[in-house]
Amino acid sequence: MKTQFITGSITYAIRGRDLLRKHGFKARMEKTPNHLDRVGCGYSIIVEGDADKAEEVLRNARVKILGKIKLN
């Protein structure tokens, strides 16, 4: 299962991606599609695996998450 976390800045996206990788997640950063980019920097973190655990890791590190979308 993949989840897209929309972040508040490119810095949060990079930091979050690197942090999740250190915690064993497969994570990448990509440009948020225009129709999803309501606010923020326009970058998201795509994570494979347990979305709740990934979100917990991000929030504990104070990575600003503006939205979460489950992907196929």
Domain that holds residue 48: 2-71
Neighbour count for residue 54 (Cβ, 10 Å) = 22
Give residue 38's pLDDT.
Answer: 58
Domain count, the chain: 1
- Relative orientation angle of helices 10-22 and 51-60, to the nearest 10 degrees: 120
How far apart, in Å, are the Cα atoms of 4 and each of 34, 51, 69? 14, 9, 5
Express the helix, strand and coil content of the chain in percent, nearest 5 each. 30, 35, 35
Q: How do residues 41-54 score in pLDDT, each as one tens digit?
A: 689 999 999 999 99
pTM for the structure as a whole: 0.87
3-state secondary structure of 4: strand
Q: How do residues 13-70 score in pLDDT, each as one tens digit?
A: 999 999 999 999 999 999 887 665 555 568 999 999 999 999 999 999 999 999 999 9
Q: What is the CATH number of the domain that holds 65?
A: 3.30.70
